[in-house]
Every structure is written in structure tokens, then in C-alpha cells.
Structure 1
Amino acid sequence: MATPLDSTYGVWLVSLVLETMLYGMGILQTWSYFAALPTDIASVKGTVLVVLTLETVQVVFFFRSSYFRFVERFGQIQLDLIWADSLQLLAAYVSGFIVQIYFVSRIHKLTKGRRTKFSLSAFGIYLILLLAVVQIVAGIVQTVWSYKLRSFLKLGETKPITTLQAASSLVCDLLITLYLCLFLKSQKGDMVKTNSMMDMLIHDAITRGVLTSVSSGVNMILFLALPNTFWFFLGLAPNSKFYMNSMLATLNSRQHIRDRIAANDKGWNSIQMATLTSNTPKKIQGQASVAAVDFETASVDISSGKQEDFLMCP
């Protein structure tokens, strides 16, 4: 019995449209990043350019593969894998790996030198790094294996390595999100401004992790549950674009979070001290006023220092 077109070429077209939209969002975010003239170090800017290049390669060759099937082989059910299929798949895996390494480096910088139960042990970071390496190695093996098979109908033979790639990527993303959320939550204290910033960063970390994790999970589940179809494309095709957009969203949101914190800052420390001085003699009041100014300045310096760290500035 022939596989219906809606579960093969139909899903293929939907996936192409979906990932093209996400690629457009990534282009816009890249433009916004460089238009803001960031003071980031060269390695971070280089990472953005490398990820953009890989995602461009991926979407171009996915389109090339689609053109081959829907135009050059119009009217034929073409289930053979061509070189463009393997190249775009490899570019997607490498791009996702680079973004994962970027977040691992940010976690390392956040936790370095901070005496918390999350930073005292490097086990979590090493585990995340190991999972990222496993997923890229499995991805490369799966790409080479698929190219040698030269048929979508034989992809079931790659089930073990494909499952390993998707599962390791899923767990890696979940651990990155969990590690960030636990660490940021542990840094909350008595300062309203700092706590507000922590809440916004936790929200951003969860949003980033959910998108990439769900994408990897959908890819794995549909590949195993619906063999000989392209339903797994719905998770596979947009996966690397979610990685790209999550990294760029993290970089672009830093100034936005700073502006929101600054707008919501009511200077509650100085107001509290001023209230206390209103019922004191003038001489003491003057001393208290100076103390209030000093205390406010110190609190801003502390908050600004934490802000630079927690917003993951390089």
C-alpha cells in the first residue's frame, strides 16, 4: 500500500514553510543584534555569524532538495536521498551544537567563582557538555549512514543512532534550562530590583528551553511512532532555527531587560532612608541623608554588577 502524499510531500512542504519563517525571524534578529553595535567580544560576534552561515546553508539546500523533487522530478514520487539532503541535515546539527556550546560557556561564566551548591560542583556543566558532544557525534554518524542508504524508506535502519541524537539533544536542552533556572533562583535576595531581573531571566530561560526541547522531542517521537512517513520533519526541520533564534533572543534581550529594570526602579532604598530622617534632628538628618545617598549608590553598583553577569554579557 502506497504512503499517502499528505504524510510525505505534504509534511515536507509544511516543514519547509515553517523553517523558512523561522529563518526569516533569525535574519531579523541578527540584523537587530549588529544594528545595536554590541560591545561583545569578537568570539560572540563570530559565533553569531557562524550560526547564521550554517542556517543559511541548511535552508538553501533544503530548498534545493525540494526543487529537485517538486520541479525537476515533478509527478514522480522521489524517495531517494540526494547529497543536498545530507548537507542540510549536517549543517543543522552543527548549528545546534554551536548554540549549545554557547549556552554552556554562559553557564560556566555565570557560576564561576560563586559559592553556591550549583557552582561548587562542575558535574552539571560537564554533563551538559558531554550530552552536546554525544548529540553532534550521533548526528554526524546518522548523516553519513543515511547518505550511504540513499533512501528515505531505509531510514528505519538508523533508528538507534537517530534516537540517540534526538534524546541527547533533548536532555541537554532540559539540563541547560534547569541549571539556569536553579542558579538564577538561588541568587534572589532582599533587593526588589535584583529579584525582578532574576524573574525575567528565568522566564527567558524557560521559553528558550521549551522550544528546542519540544522540537527535539517531537522529532524523536514521530520518527519512532510513524515510520515510512515524513511527519518527523515537523520537529527536525525547525529545530536548528529554534536554536538560532534562542541564542539571538538572549543576546538582543539584554538591553531590553536593563531598560525595564531601570524604568521600574523606584529608588526604594533612598526613599526609606529619607523617611527615617524626617523625624530626626537636623544634624543627624544631614548625616542620615549622606548615608542614604551612599547606600543608594552602593546598591546601584551591586545591582549593576550582578546585572552584567546575569544578562550573560561576554
Structure 2
Amino acid sequence: MSSPLDSTMGIWLVSLFLATILYGMGLIQAFLYFNWYTKDHWGVKAVVICLVILETLHITFFFCGTYWILIDHFGDFAALVVITWYDSAQLLAGYLSAFTVQMYFAYCIYALSPKYKIMPMFIAALALLQIGAGLAQTIITTELGSFTLLDKTKRITTLQAASAFACDVSITACLCYTLNGKRTGLKSTNSLLNTLMIIAVNRGMLTALSAALNIILFLSIPNTFWFFLGLILSGKLYMNSMLATLNTRQHIRGRLNEDSAGPWNSIHIRNLSSNRNTNSGGTNVPEESTLNSHIDPAYEDKGNKTTFTMDMV
């Protein structure tokens, strides 16, 4: 016979277990990032550090809230529905984490195509709407003080989750559109861009699915904590997706170097740089600095004094 607490404290513990696993994965990825990319721009490193701090606070407050309910107030059933400041703090940390990653990718899209300002501005607006609704939800939830009254936050919760979902879908669509516009006549370059677009889709799919799961479970199964599966795990998915994007650059550069040893349609851009103005085929070949900027935020074109400060994926 199942426990009456399966859909509340049971799913609470399951969410804590899964969030802890994802947090550990994120810490490993952060360690690898700082070990592999020591020459990255300080702006990228600052975003990663901020993200790690927010997710550390999130999992810490979530654990403290769990300890308060199940240990400090063991046997006190009235305490099971009390919303503590730990719960509000971890909720806010999760929303800030999502906002940090969304703004990061908005800047990446702007850096890829500065002339198309409407795309990053639209994404930034959705990110601001998401964090604004998240702050409002945190305040309202704290004032309610009881999980039994969460239905009163239905509108603001729907707005927050819907804006997060729309923001993630927009980031994915804009990245794919921008990268697709960088295609050239070289097979190796197009293959590289296809890889970057696949990574962008996989990243956006995870975080968008988390936001969709949050709103669907919150509305379809009220008076339970099933929506925790989307809400609690979302910040960890944002953290892992961003760090995975940063850490795959070595693999992408390795593929590019392997392709450079291939036939004509995979020849390295550097070998064509001196002859690009006399190309009899009339193919528009990008300079090496342009190609490297798509995959390496630390790349700097010494000749043109152009520095790319953020990851382009």
C-alpha cells in the first residue's frame, strides 16, 4: 500500500536526489572548464562562477528546508505544509540561475550577429519577464506561508514558466538561424555549423522541457509536489547545458583540425587567407578569425585587433 505522502514529501525527496546528482555533474563540468580553458575571457569565467554560486545556494537551501521538515519537525504533520524562508530562498536562487544563463545566450546571439539586434533584445525581454514573474512568485509564496495555498499563485506561476519556455525556444531558434546564416562553400565549415546547431537544439530542448513540465504538472495535478520535477531540476539543467556548451569547444576544434588535413573542400582556412582575393571560383571564404570566433570565446585576431569575449554557441 502506497503512503499518502508519496505525491508530496515522496516526490520532494526524489527531486532532492535528482537535483543533487545534477549539481554534482555541474561541479565536475565547472572544474573541467576552469582546468581546460584557463585563457578564457574574465567575463565568461565570471558567469560560470556566478552560476556555480547560485546553484550551490539553491541545493543548500533545498537541503536545509528538507532537514527542517523531516528532522527538526519530525512527527509534526502541521509543519509539512509550512513554507519556510529556506523554500523561498531556493526558489529565488533557481530563477536567478535561469536568468543568468538566458542573458548569457542573448549576448552570444548579439555577438554572432550585431546587426540583428531585435533577436537578443527579444530574448532579453523574455528573460526579464521570467525573472520578474519569478520574484513576484517568490514574494507571494512567502506571504502565503502554506503549501496548501499554492493554487493562489497559479497565474504568476503560469506566467513565469511560460516566459521561461518561450525564452528557451527563442534562444534555440535564434542560434540555429544565426549559425545557418554563416554557411559557406566549404564542407568542413558547414559540418562544423551543423554540429553547433545540434548542440544548440539539445541545450534548448532540455531547459524548455523542464519549464513545460513545471507548468503542466502544476496545473494538472494540484495539491501535490509533482511540479518539483520541472521546477527544482531546471536550474541544474541550465547550469549543465551551459557548461556542456563551453566544454565541447575542444572537441569541435579537434574536428576542425582533422578536417583541415582532408581534400580541397576541407582545406584549412589559413591556407587560403593569402589567396582569398584571387579565388577563381568566386567562392566567398571567411577569414580564419571569423571561423574561430564561432567556437572559441578566448580567440583574438591579433592582426585586426578583434577580440571575442563570449562563447559563440
TM-score normalized by the length of structure 2: 0.86
Which residue does 1:295 correspond to in 2? 272
Question: What is the CA-CA distance between 1:174 and the residue it aligns to?
Answer: 0.1
Aligned residues of 2:106 and 2:121 also touching (Cα < 8 A): no
What is the 5 A alignment of 1:27-66?
Answer: 27-66=27-66
Which residue does 2:127 correspond to in 1? 132
Alignment pair present for 1:111 and 2:113: yes
Aligned residues of 1:65 and 1:82 also touching (Cα < 8 A): yes
Bigger helix fraction: 1
Which residue does 1:309 correspond to in 2? 293
Q: 1:270 to 1:251 in 2, by over 3 A?
A: closer
| Aligned pairs, number | 284
> Does the residue aligned with 2:46 lie in a helix, a strand or coil?
helix
Question: What is the CA-CA distance between 1:139 and the residue it aligns to?
Answer: 0.2
* Cα distance in 1, alignment partners of residues 64 and 216 from structure 2: 27
Question: What is the CA-CA distance between 1:177 and the residue it aligns to?
Answer: 0.1
TM-score normalized by the length of structure 1: 0.86
* Cα distance in 2, alignment partners of residues 294 and 16 from structure 1: 53
What one-letter code is carried by the residue in structure 2 that aligns with 1:10? Answer: G
What one-letter code is carried by the residue in structure 2 that aligns with 1:31? Answer: F
What is the 5 A alignment of 1:173-212?
Answer: 173-212=168-207
Question: What is the CA-CA distance between 1:62 and the residue it aligns to?
Answer: 0.1
* Cα distance in 2, alignment partners of residues 251 and 261 from structure 1: 16
Which residue does 1:100 correspond to in 2? 102
> Rg larger in 1 or in 2?
1
Which residue does 1:70 correspond to in 2? 70
- Greater mean alpha carbon deviation, residues 182-191 or residues 6-15: 182-191
Alignment pair present for 1:228 and 2:212: no
Per-residue CA deviation, residues 17-61 of structure 1 (Å, 9 max, x unaligned), is 111111001100100011114322212111111110010000001
Alignment pair present for 1:82 and 2:84: yes
Alignment pair present for 1:123 and 2:145: no
Aligned residues of 2:123 and 2:167 also touching (Cα < 8 A): yes
* Cα distance in 2, alignment partners of residues 294 and 265 from structure 1: 9
Q: 1:303 to 1:56 in 2, by over 3 A?
A: same
Question: What is the CA-CA distance between 1:261 and the residue it aligns to?
Answer: 1.7
